[in-house]
Amino acid sequence: MKNLFLMRHGKSSWELNVSDQDRALLQRGISDARLVADEIAKLNLKIDQVYTSPANRAFHTCMICLRTLYYPLENCNVTADLYDFSGNQVFQFIQQLDDNLNNVFLFGHNHTFTHLANSMGDRRIDNVPTSGFVHLQFQENTWANVIKGSTIQTIFPKQLKA
């Protein structure tokens, strides 16, 4: 069985004149990432490996989440394959994961994560929001065979705010 955890980066700023990869998180992005990470921590997930997009906003969201989970940072890899907005590149990345890894956490972008959640999961999600988390589970034993699975859980910031 394979578990795929997806978390979209937090709300980012468009105010500074920087490249797309260098856009920073807004304070709301930081707060929402912490809020969702606190909720993820309650799940006591087993995580074998973490991969993040090199974009500043995704990497920063990843660091906030991993610190909250007390997850060892040496098991986090920055990979350009996750700087993808269509989903095709990330899907190929997933299918090439090491089969010794059963529980993989990815940090990245939309429209990729909404597309993957809908095409690989069994529950329709209109939009994975910023700082949104989706857990997909597959019965297959190899990542190359992972195509359609179950949407186990979603955690979105809006659900957690009073």
Residue ranges and CATH numbers for the domains of the chain are: 2-160 (3.40.50.1240)
Decide if pLDDT at 147 tops 80: yes
Average pLDDT, the chain: 94
Query: pLDDT band at 162, cuts 50/70/90?
Result: low
- Residue 125 three-state SS: coil
> Cα separation of 93 and 109, whole Å?
14
Token readout for 29 is 């992005």
Omega of the bond leading into 9 within 30 degrees of 0 (cis): no
pLDDT, one tens digit per residue, over 114-141 is 999 999 999 999 999 999 999 999 999 9
Note whether 15 and 159 are within 8 A (CB). Answer: no
